[in-house]
Amino acid sequence: MNTLTRNDECLARYFRSIQHITLLNREEEESLSRKIAAGDEKSRQRLIEANLRLVVRIARTMWNPSLSLIDLIQEGNIGLIKAAEKFDGSRQVKFSTYAAWWIRQSISRSLINTERTIRLPHRKEDLIKKIQAERSILSQRLQRQPTTREISERLGVEEKKLQDVMQFSEHVGSFETTVDHDTVSLLDMIEDYSYAPERIFEDIEIREETKKLLDTLKERERFVVQQRFEIDGGKWKSLKRMGIFMGLSPETIRHIEKKALSKLRLAAEKHLLCVPA
């Protein structure tokens, strides 16, 4: 009896189709990069095809029941295409290292959007947007993070209801945590090419560099980042859970996280400037 599902059959065919594609060395990547910059479509296609197995590896590690593996691979391939278009081989960064970030962000965004659809009713979505907008306004006015009570008073919403809604959206919110002066979020970093992928710490081929960057943080900052973003053995925890565990308020945890991410970005940029051209 054949127990393969349609998705299983699609995956099997796809795996067979990419199994024997020849990989590239660094010199070939640099050569293709120059040709792509000159508008050579065949070179772009060759660079993409040579890294399709990388997408599969990453998609497997990020698989979530909310989406099928084949869907995650398709999303990852979109990130791979973006990476091929933006890659600069002269910067002494392996394409697989560079592309892994784009692949992960494409898959992550798809998972986030799926979770929003599943977990956030329309009215809660609207309230969350109002909360985020009011938090930004109050942060600028008060020159600090506002409390939930201050936000609830401004919106005319009961503080308990506000806390429930904020907790409900906490997982999505971790990707929207502001990084720099309450204006740049992790999703902004994903979209903004000025935060180049080789400057960010989450990549399967730069674990040693990740450790070096994390070592620039204070112990408490490092622990918060590891737990909030599942780095180096950390398991994702909400602000509330982190606060209970560390004996601090969720707002204090958010402040520590924000400060730590700013430090990591600066440390990563400094490290990149030290890479020989």
Q: Show me where the domains of the chain are located.
A: 6-117, 121-168, 171-176+187-277
Taking the C-alpha atoms of residue 201 and residue 212, their distance in angstroms, rounded to an integer, is: 10
Across 98-107, 132-141, 241-250, the highest mean pLDDT is recorded for 98-107
Predicted confidence (pLDDT) at residue 270 exceeds the cutoff of 80: no
Task: Give the architecture (CATH level 2) of 6-117.
Answer: Up-down Bundle (1.20)
CA distances, 117 to each of 111, 113, 120, 226 (Å): 10, 6, 6, 27
Higher pLDDT, 170 or 54: 54
The predicted pLDDT at position 40 comes to 92
Contact 114, 66 (CB under 8 A): yes
Instruction: Report, as an integer, the average pLDDT of 60-83.
Output: 84
The predicted pLDDT at position 77 comes to 93
Taking the C-alpha atoms of residue 120 and residue 165, their distance in angstroms, rounded to an integer, is: 9
Predicted confidence (pLDDT) at residue 7 exceeds the cutoff of 70: no
Question: What's the fold here for domain 171-176+187-277?
Answer: Arc Repressor Mutant, subunit A (1.10.10)
Show the CA angle centred on residue 241, arms to residues 109 and 151, nearest 5°: 75
Instruction: Report, as an integer, the average pLDDT of 101-118.
Output: 74
The predicted pLDDT at position 66 comes to 66
Task: Summarize pLDDT for 191-249 with one digit per residue, the tens.
Answer: 333 333 433 434 444 455 667 778 888 888 888 888 777 666 656 567 787 877 778 88
